[in-house]
Structures are given as structure tokens and as C-alpha cells.
Chain A
């Protein structure tokens, strides 16, 4: 018999994934998603390179898209951090949307109640109130998970829906209803976020929060308990780490950070300065789900979540030119984001496995 040689692919489980490998995998995912979306663009009759040039030149042009890119990008950082902290303890926070709405309610309640307060007092009060509202909403799910082992994914998703309607009740014909149809009253002047380098101060604030979260998880005793619980709940129990306590803590912190994004979003973009119509605030609420994908791509590293979020922010903002400038069909922007999240999700596979070529000889 003649020996037949052919290469065969073999899957190997990776025991420990290095940071460098994770970066490589992410870079590869970006390249693949760009190629896939490029194919769609070409199919629609536009040169992909031209499309990409337009997307990024708009998104990063300081006079055009850059302020919004940064604003939306940093909004995602808030929500990514809100996902990362509970995830480090093994808890899936799918409730950033609801916590963001509650944070909005908390912040706006203060602003509408004390419209004449000095800016230096009013804004911190709004932030604190938003954080507390978000924290309480998150802690509710954390408590149910820790104490009664109720699945946190189900609870947080249901709470998201409740939160959506709470905002609706307050704005559409409710106590906060504005003159324009279905939106809230405008925010008092004192409540609007001061700008630093053409972006609201909360953008810088969230970078500081990201660094704090990094050190919190890495260096503090609570952070250590969170990571231990997330890595192995059984081991954690044996060494006396209380899962109910940690569940409440992580969901409260996560909820607080997501709650802060309420102020950042509405008070930080000069285009809003109020709560917009339901479909508009729901569209922003939907963006919070990027926190899940970003958190997983970044392997729960709070620091890398900043550039990753800005990147996604630039695509959210940049793809709008496809319709405006290139007369391409509506929905391509959503398609691009969809492709990116699917490719990144698919490439999570390489966080677990490595594919290797092995030579197999058949017959001799």
C-alpha cells in the first residue's frame, strides 16, 4: 500500500490564555469582520475602501463626528464596566439597560426638584443619586441571586422592561412631560455637564473609574474575593467567601456605574439635555448591551475596555455616513455592528481552543 499523507486539523484545549494571544485574537476578529462587511458593501455596489475611508474620516473628524464618537464610546465604557465587575464574580449582568434608565430617573429627579442649586452642588448630587438608583436596582437582582439562587439573567432582563416603562410613565404625559410631544422637560441649565476638550467631563471621569475598577479587582481584599468566587464558587465557599454578600456587592457596584451613564448620556450631549422620545431613549438603552460583548472581548480587563469601547463608538457614529453621503441602504450600520458582534462571539472559541495541523499517515 502506498502511504497517503494529508494534513489534518486538530483542536487542542488551551489551559491558560495569555494577554498577547487575546490581543491577537481580537485583532484577527476585527480584520475578518471588516472583510465580511466589505463584501456586503461591494455587493451593494460601493468600493469597500471608499466606504471605510468615509466611516472613519467622519467618526474621527474633530469638527464632525469625533465629539459624538467619544461621547458614545465613553457611554459604552460605563456599561462595559457595569458588566465586568459582576462577571468577575461569575454573575451575568444583563441589566445595564434597566440600571441606566434608573440612573437617568435618579439624576433627573434631583435636577427637576432643585433646578436652582449651584452647579457645583447640583451635578455631584445628580451623579450620586443616579448611582444610588442604579445600585439599588442592580442589588435587587444580586440579592435574589445570592440569597435565593434566582437566575440573574432572567431577573435583570425583566427589570430592564420594568425600567423602560418607569421612564415612559414619567415622561410621556407624566409629571416630567415637556412641551414637545413625548419628551421630558429640558434639563435646567445648571444640570448640564461642563465640557472639557469638547467632551463632557464625565468622559474623563469614566477613565478614572476604569482605572479604579482595575485596581479594585486586582488589589483589594473584596476584589480578590470577587475573583475567587468567579473562578470557582466551590473553592470560594470552602475558604469562607460568602456568595450572597459578594453577589449583592458586585451587582450594586455594577448598577451604580451603569446608573452614572444616565447622567453622561443625557446631560453630556448638547443634542439631548432631556429624555427624548421613547424610541430614541430605547435605542440608546439598546447600546448598553455592547457592554456584554466588550467585556468578554476584553477578557474582563477594565483598562482595555476603554479603547475597545471608543472603537465601537466610532463605528456606531461613522456608519451613519453610509446613508447620508454614499446613498447606501438604511440598516447597513446595524449590519456592520451585527457582523462585528457575531465575529467576536465566534472567535471566543479561540480563547478556549487552539487549532493545530497534524500530519496523519494512512497505510504504509
Chain B
């Protein structure tokens, strides 16, 4: 590779040497929001320095400043003691800083190699891929990445795509790698692999800054040092040895957080939902649900644990009516609803929390209008046959705000002004206040920070206490295990087993999710 500015800047770096210093970084957004308040941050060569904080703590702002996307109002950045100023990410890249975003920015129809060279200064008018391929291969070998350079990006898994982004940053000469929520889209197996590879990268002298809002155990397992932000300020700096789950969470949230939601035993009542030999196809017409049968009763949480793409999304969609089954029966409170419409299912007492907030709320609508989504068909909220009773809906919205602790200036605010966590709470409130007999909670804590996650979990538990049945779908094994009364690991469209929580061993469930154990204990 030819010599670049970064090569000169980072010449003869020794491991453990401070390569980056940010001093007194302050950023105030128009409107007076102080996103960063005199933040100091430093990074050594060969270390993984995690940046931790809840949504809105200022991590993203700080890293965007480091990557040249934002300019600080105050403060300085030094790389190997030399003061630098970035006008755009291009400047930052030139100085050896690379960033991998949470949402992949790759072109699916192009090959891995084409994506890696895209935008590289070395690529002139004519593409000479041979030399580049050799260099990229060398790079992959150095860090132990296994990538098929000629595969199309759409064929890759989430983990492989992330690797492509990392290689892309490295090929552009990154010595400091910023990783935005690096594990949020990875499966447990991929996460494991990813953690291995960043350890290797650090070993070879790179400085790595992952920033994380949740999944604290992951941080604990690899980070050498941890800096915690809260409300734009550094509240703690510690080494891995000093950190424990509890004190990290406490510092992040600013209060004690119970990680173990206390599971309460309730009386198990009548069967609410009975599913018999259900089969369904996914969007591509491939069988995704392949013969699933189970029963959920009043007062229990039934957890489905599985790696994304094993049919749990399709199963949830079939249950609420978004997808038609090709075979099988669904019986809800003694009625065959296999062919019922979505609206009929809501009316009969089903509730569904969608996996993405974008599926559940409209940002242009006020909170009242968003709440109305599950009540427009409810006689209690319709007057003179055709009119929505907005007075009653307003009351309901106010109740939702206070009961679910939603931070909003008022019920007539547009939902777009709410933060992600509050929006999720709004959806949850809307569905749960219907008191459905069966609640299908599809990734209910996806993307929530620690405080909000705890809140949602406790709500589910409370709800079960009232005698409702809950079907919990989650990618977070700890979540499933801490809430469920019975757990069904799903693999390739089938339940590997259905286990009462007392009989569950975490390792065993993990193996079942990965398809390593084909049949466990029968129900």
C-alpha cells in the first residue's frame, strides 16, 4: 500500500501509547440541548475502550465529532499529540479514523470487493481490481477475517456484512475504529465471532471504540477500559477489572437497576391459545414455520427463544393474522380463528406488539391519534355510530402517559417528537390497556436502553399476574429465561422442545437454538 498521511502520523506506534485524546469537548445543539459537556476521552493503541450510555447520553454526538460529521463548539482533538481539526469525515479518514455504522451502508448488488474499494482514493477512472484484491486479501489474513471477496453483499449474513464494513475502514487506513452498536444486529454465534476478531485487531495495535447502549455483558467481556456517559457528561471511567454488571448499569441509568425481573408464580388457568401443526411460508415462498404445536394458558408467559430467521417472526405474523398459514389450526379461547381477519383477532382479545416501532406508531399523528389505533373499532370509543370519541381517547392517552411513565409534553404532541424508548412505551400502553387475553410481545425491548427495558419487563410480569397469557418472542436469551414460565427454543421453523423453566439449562437452550440438539425433553 502506498504511504498515506495516516501512515506518517501513526509511524512506529507502540502498543499502549496514547494515540487519541479528546479534551473538553462541548457540543450544544440549536435549542440549547447540551449533548456533550466538557468531555475528555483518550484511547491507547491496542486497546478496546468502550463508550457506554443510554439513548441520548451523548455517545453518538461525541463519536460524530471524532469522525468529522459534527464540529464541536469547544474542545480539541489530538492524534499522537498533534492537534487536528476535521471539517468532514474525509479529513477524519485521512487521519486514520474509521467508523462502522449500526445500519449497514453497503450496496447489496455489488460484490464484497467492489464495496470495499467504493470511494477509495486509490481507485481512479479505471478499476484495477487485481492489485486491490491482493491487498485486501493480505489485510484479511493479517486480522484473520474469512471473507469471500467475490460474493454479492446481499448473500451475506449480518455478521459478514459488518466484517465487510470493518475491512473497508481498515483498507482506507483506519488506525482508530469506531463501532456503533456493533452487536445489535448479530446472532449470538456471530457476536462470539465478532468479539474474537476485534480482540485480534486490538492485539495488532488498533485502537477500538465500540459504543453501546445495552447488551452490557458483551462490553464486559472484551473492553479493556470503559467510559460511561450520562446526560452529556462523563460519569465514570474504569478498567474491566473494576466493572460489574450492576455498577455499570447503575452509573448509566443513575439509579439501581434490577436485572432479574422477579418471576412471580401465578395460578395457571384455562387454555387461551392452542396452535396445532402450523405451517407457513416466508416472503420468499420458502417454508418458515414447519409444524408448530403448543398451548398457552392464562397466567403464563410462553417464551420463544431463537436466532433471527428461524421462523419466529413468521409464526407471530400468522398468529395475529398478517400472514396466512398453509396448514394447521389456530384456536383462540375455544374458537377456530385460522381464517379470521386481523381486526377480528383484535376484537376477540388478541394484542400484538410489533418488532419495529415503525410498524406500530405514526410520527405525524398526535399521541391521542396514535392511541386510537387499537380503539377505533371499540364501541366504547365510538359515539353516534360513526364518530370517534376523542374526549374519551384523550382521557385514555393521559392515563397511558401517567401509567406507563411516558415522557411527553402533552397528549396533543406529535409522536415524532418522542424518543424511541417513549414511543415503544406508547405502543405498549396502547396495546396493554386493551387488556388483551393474549399478548404477543414480539421483541418488546428491542433497541431500548437499560431503564426502559426493565420497565417493559416488569409490565409484562405485572400483566401476567392479572391472568393474561403472554407469548414472548425475543432474541435475548437472558430476557426469555428471566421472564418465561415455559421456554420453546425454535430452530428452522420447529420447536426443538418445550421446557418448563425449572428444567431449563441455559447452555442446553443455547445449543438447541443453534440446532446442536435436535430433540430434548417432550412437553
Question: A-side interface residues toward B, CB under 8 Å?
Answer: 15-16, 219-222, 224-225, 227-228, 231-232, 234-235, 237-242, 362, 364
The answer to whether B376 touches A219 (Cβ under 8 A) is no
Which residues of chain B are near A232, meaning CB under 8 Å? 358, 362
Give chain B interface residues in 87-127, CB to chain A under 8 Å. 87
Contact of A224 among B346, B369, B414 (CB under 8 A): B369
Smallest Cβ-Cβ distance to B378: which chain A residue:
A221
Contact of A221 among B321, B342, B369, B387 (CB under 8 A): B387
Complex Cα spacing A219 to B358, Å: 25
A5 CB to closest chain B CB, in angstroms? 14
The answer to whether B322 touches A228 (Cβ under 8 A) is no
Interface string of B319-356 (1 = CB under 8 A from A): 01110000000000000000001111110000010100
13 new A-B pairs (CB below 8 Å) besides A219-B387, A219-B388?
A: A16-B414, A16-B416, A221-B387, A221-B388, A222-B386, A224-B376, A225-B376, A232-B362, A235-B361, A239-B342, A240-B343, A240-B344, A240-B345
Complex Cα spacing A225 to B342, Å: 14
The answer to whether A240 touches B342 (Cβ under 8 A) is yes
Most buried by B among A16, A227, A237, A242: A16
The answer to whether A235 touches B390 (Cβ under 8 A) is no
A357 CB to closest chain B CB, in angstroms? 13
Give chain B interface residues in 376-398, CB to chain A under 8 Å. 376-377, 382, 386-388, 390
Assess whether B374 is interfacial by the CB under 8 Å rule. yes
The answer to whether A238 touches B358 (Cβ under 8 A) is no
The answer to whether A238 touches B386 (Cβ under 8 A) is no
Complex Cα spacing A276 to B65, Å: 68
Which residues of chain A are near B364, meaning CB under 8 Å? 16, 231
Which residues of chain B are near A237, meaning CB under 8 Å? 322, 342
Helix, strand, loop or mixed for chain A's interface?
Answer: helix
Contact of B374 among A225, A239, A364 (CB under 8 A): A239
Which residues of chain A are near B416, meaning CB under 8 Å? 15-16
B233 CB to closest chain A CB, in angstroms? 27
Assess whether B136 is interfacial by the CB under 8 Å rule. no
Contact of B341 among A220, A231, A242 (CB under 8 A): A242
Smallest Cβ-Cβ distance to B342: which chain A residue:
A240
Contacts A224-B369, A224-B376, A231-B364 given: A239-B388 contact, CB under 8 Å? Answer: no
Which residues of chain B are near A241, meaning CB under 8 Å? 343
Most buried by A among B343, B345, B362, B390: B362
Contact of A235 among B85, B362, B377 (CB under 8 A): B362
Most buried by B among A221, A232, A362, A364: A221
B473 CB to closest chain A CB, in angstroms? 15
22 inter-chain pairs at a CB distance below 8 angstroms, sorted by A residue, are: A15-B363, A16-B364, A16-B414, A221-B376, A221-B386, A222-B386, A228-B373, A231-B364, A232-B358, A235-B358, A235-B360, A235-B373, A237-B322, A238-B352, A239-B346, A239-B373, A240-B321, A240-B341, A240-B342, A240-B343, A240-B344, A240-B377
Which residues of chain B are near A364, meaning CB under 8 Å? 85
The answer to whether B346 touches A240 (Cβ under 8 A) is yes
Which residues of chain A are near B154, meaning CB under 8 Å? none
* Interface range, B side: 35 or more
The answer to whether A231 touches B414 (Cβ under 8 A) is no
Complex Cα spacing A242 to B341, Å: 9
B322 CB to closest chain A CB, in angstroms? 7
Which residues of chain A are near B320, meaning CB under 8 Å? 238
Complex Cα spacing A227 to B376, Å: 12
B486 CB to closest chain A CB, in angstroms? 26
Helix, strand, loop or mixed for chain B's interface?
Answer: mixed
Which residues of chain A are near B372, meaning CB under 8 Å? 224
Complex Cα spacing A225 to B386, Å: 12
Which residues of chain A are near B342, meaning CB under 8 Å? 237-240
Complex Cα spacing A242 to B369, Å: 18
Complex Cα spacing A228 to B518, Å: 44
Which residues of chain B are near A238, meaning CB under 8 Å? 320, 322, 342, 352, 354, 359-360
Complex Cα spacing A68 to B150, Å: 69
Smallest Cβ-Cβ distance to B343: which chain A residue:
A240
Contacts A15-B416, A221-B382 given: A228-B362 contact, CB under 8 Å? Answer: yes
Interface string of B386-419 (1 = CB under 8 A from A): 1110100000000000000000000000101100
Complex Cα spacing A174 to B416, Å: 57
Complex Cα spacing A237 to B360, Å: 10
Contacts A231-B362, A238-B359 given: A224-B388 contact, CB under 8 Å? Answer: yes
The answer to whether B387 touches A234 (Cβ under 8 A) is no
Q: Which 5 pairs of residues, A with B, have the shortest CB-CB distance?
A: A240-B343, A240-B342, A239-B373, A231-B362, A220-B386
A215 CB to closest chain B CB, in angstroms? 9
Complex Cα spacing A16 to B390, Å: 22
Interface string of B234-248 (1 = CB under 8 A from A): 000000000000000
Contact of B365 among A225, A231, A362 (CB under 8 A): A231
Which residues of chain B are near A227, meaning CB under 8 Å? 365, 369
Smallest Cβ-Cβ distance to B382: which chain A residue:
A221
Complex Cα spacing A16 to B412, Å: 13
Complex Cα spacing A235 to B352, Å: 12
Complex Cα spacing A224 to B393, Å: 13
Which residues of chain A are near B376, meaning CB under 8 Å? 221, 224-225, 228
The answer to whether A234 touches B341 (Cβ under 8 A) is no
Complex Cα spacing A227 to B416, Å: 16
Smallest Cβ-Cβ distance to A12: which chain B residue:
B30
B88 CB to closest chain A CB, in angstroms? 11
Smallest Cβ-Cβ distance to B346: which chain A residue:
A240
Which residues of chain A are near B387, meaning CB under 8 Å? 219-221
Complex Cα spacing A222 to B342, Å: 17
Complex Cα spacing A238 to B355, Å: 11
Which residues of chain A are near B87, meaning CB under 8 Å? 362
Smallest Cβ-Cβ distance to A234: which chain B residue:
B359
Which residues of chain B are near A240, meaning CB under 8 Å? 321, 341-346, 377
Complex Cα spacing A362 to B342, Å: 58
Complex Cα spacing A232 to B362, Å: 7
Which residues of chain A are near B369, meaning CB under 8 Å? 224, 227
Complex Cα spacing A16 to B376, Å: 24
The answer to whether A235 touches B345 (Cβ under 8 A) is no
The answer to whether B390 touches A219 (Cβ under 8 A) is yes
Most buried by A among B85, B373, B374: B373
Smallest Cβ-Cβ distance to A220: which chain B residue:
B386
A253 CB to closest chain B CB, in angstroms? 14
A297 CB to closest chain B CB, in angstroms? 18
Complex Cα spacing A69 to B312, Å: 62
B71 CB to closest chain A CB, in angstroms? 9
Complex Cα spacing A257 to B365, Å: 27
Which residues of chain A are near B341, meaning CB under 8 Å? 240, 242
B168 CB to closest chain A CB, in angstroms? 27
B320 CB to closest chain A CB, in angstroms? 8
Which residues of chain A are near B377, meaning CB under 8 Å? 221, 240
A279 CB to closest chain B CB, in angstroms? 43
Complex Cα spacing A238 to B10, Å: 53
Which residues of chain B are near A234, meaning CB under 8 Å? 358-359
Which residues of chain A are near B361, meaning CB under 8 Å? 235
Which residues of chain A are near B363, meaning CB under 8 Å? 15
A247 CB to closest chain B CB, in angstroms? 16
B521 CB to closest chain A CB, in angstroms? 35
Complex Cα spacing A241 to B373, Å: 9
Complex Cα spacing A234 to B344, Å: 18
Complex Cα spacing A6 to B372, Å: 49
